[in-house]
Amino acid sequence: NEGNEYFKEKDYGRAVAAYSEGLRRRCGDAELDAVLLTNRGAAHFHLGNYRSALNDAIQAKKLKPTHLKAIIRGALCHMELKNFSEAVAWCEEGLQIDSKEKKLVEMRAKADKLKLEGTFLGAKTGFSTHCQGGAVLGTDLLCERNIKLVLEPSDEEEEVSDGLAEISLDGFHRDSATGAKVHLDADGNLNWPVLFLYPEHEQTDFTVAFHENSRFIDHLMVMFAELPPWDVEKKYLPNNLELYFEDEEREEMYEVDPEHTLLQVLQHKRYFVKAGTPTVLVFAKRSPFSKKYFSGKKVHRL
């Protein structure tokens, strides 16, 4: 009930925490747990944490295979993650339960179309520079923040910008690698789509609108309010995580302070935004996997 109240108030972070607390009580009622998981997945979805939302939908469906809301949520997550074949499969599973469910009928048709068009295969990605109302952001917004972009290769090699002032953003594709786009809010702040990568488990999380002045630790507290199902060793806790970004050109790793804001990280002299989507790698502290991953690379620690 507390989670539902927060959800109505659009306080999705607290809603996630409340639903997680309900799940921690282990009531033994599979139907109630399925509802808690589905509701938490909906809150994660609104926060842009599509991978976490999908994991909750999967777990809810295991507990209650006929739970239509979980199936709809899972299909929506697959759509956002550009997994169109999986979205079709989830829609068909739901339509076997209710053949007239309008959301599933419409979503299946859309997913089928996108799958056939092959928009998720080999499509070039780019940086979308649109603000509210459709106006185009000027490069001055990025230049004054000292944010550096990597342009997608046209025919030959990649172009890397040091200053952005000399780079024209005309002709960039509207969608980033994730389909979301950076946008300017009413207060003049940038909100970015951010991709979290977990190399050890080959998992990802995607936040659709990471406010440039938000800290990484605040997002981690929400994303890992409940252990993800793939973390069987229970080591992915908010305070047991290390964040890095990779300088692929130099084969160097830079540790990110979780207390830092997104903007502080983007302003790092060796951080380059690729395909319009900032990316951060997440590891469990002192894990054997991270030591192996860092092998042969220079690591700049805090």
Per-residue pLDDT of 219-232, as tens digits, reads 999 888 888 888 99
The span from the CA of 52 to the CA of 40, in Å, is 9
The span from the CA of 178 to the CA of 208, in Å, is 9
Burial readout 61-83 (b: 16 or more C-beta within 10 A, e: otherwise): bebbeebbbbbbbbbbbbbbbbb
What pLDDT does 119 receive? Answer: 39
One-letter amino acid at 141 equals: L
30-47 vs 68-80: helix crossing angle, rounded to 10: 30
Q: Which of 67-76, 103-112, 160-169, 269-278 has the lowest mean pLDDT?
A: 160-169
Q: Flag whether pLDDT at 165 surpasses 80.
A: no
Question: Residue 6 corresponds to which tokens in the numbers above?
Answer: 């927060």
Give the model's confidence band at 217: pLDDT under 50 very low, under 70 low, under 90 confident, else very high. very high
* Portion of the chain with pLDDT greater than 70, in percent: 82
Per-residue pLDDT of 140-163, as tens digits, reads 678 889 998 875 443 333 333 333
Per-residue pLDDT of 59-81, as tens digits, reads 999 999 999 999 999 999 999 88
The total of other beta-carbon atoms located within 10 Å of residue 126's CB is 20
Question: Residue 100 corresponds to which tokens in the numbers above?
Answer: 């007239």
With residue 70 as reference, give the H or E element that holds it.
helix 68-80
Three-state DSSP state, 77: helix
The span from the CA of 80 to the CA of 118, in Å, is 15
Please name the residue that has the structure tokens 């923040």: 145
Name the residue among 60, 78, 57 with its Cα closest to residue 179: 78
What pLDDT does 168 receive? Answer: 26
Decide if 196 contacts 204 (C-beta within 8 A).
yes
Task: Tally the C-alpha atoms within 13 A of residue 278's C-alpha that lie toward its C-beta.
Answer: 30
Strand partners, 274: 150
* Structural domains of the chain in order of their starting residue, each with its CATH number: 1-122 (1.25.40.10), 137-150+169-301 (3.10.20.90)
Task: Tally the C-alpha atoms within 13 A of residue 165's C-alpha that lie toward its C-beta.
Answer: 5
> Which DSSP symbol is given to 133?
G
Residues, the chain: 302
Q: Flag whether pLDDT at 42 surpasses 90.
A: yes
Task: Tally the C-alpha atoms within 13 A of residue 40's C-alpha that lie toward its C-beta.
Answer: 31
Spatial CB neighbours of 91, under 8 Å, sequence gap ≥ 6? 75, 104, 105, 107, 108, 111
Decide if 272 contacts 148 (C-beta within 8 A).
yes
Please tell me the pTM assigned to this model. Answer: 0.53
With residue 229 as reference, give the H or E element that holds it.
none
Please name the residue that has the structure tokens 């944010």: 147
Question: Residue 261 corresponds to which tokens in the numbers above?
Answer: 């804001």
CA distances from 302 to 100, 157, 244 (A): 55, 33, 10
Strand partners, 195: 206, 279
Spatial CB neighbours of 127, under 8 Å, sequence gap ≥ 6? 149, 151, 169, 172, 176, 182, 273, 275, 276
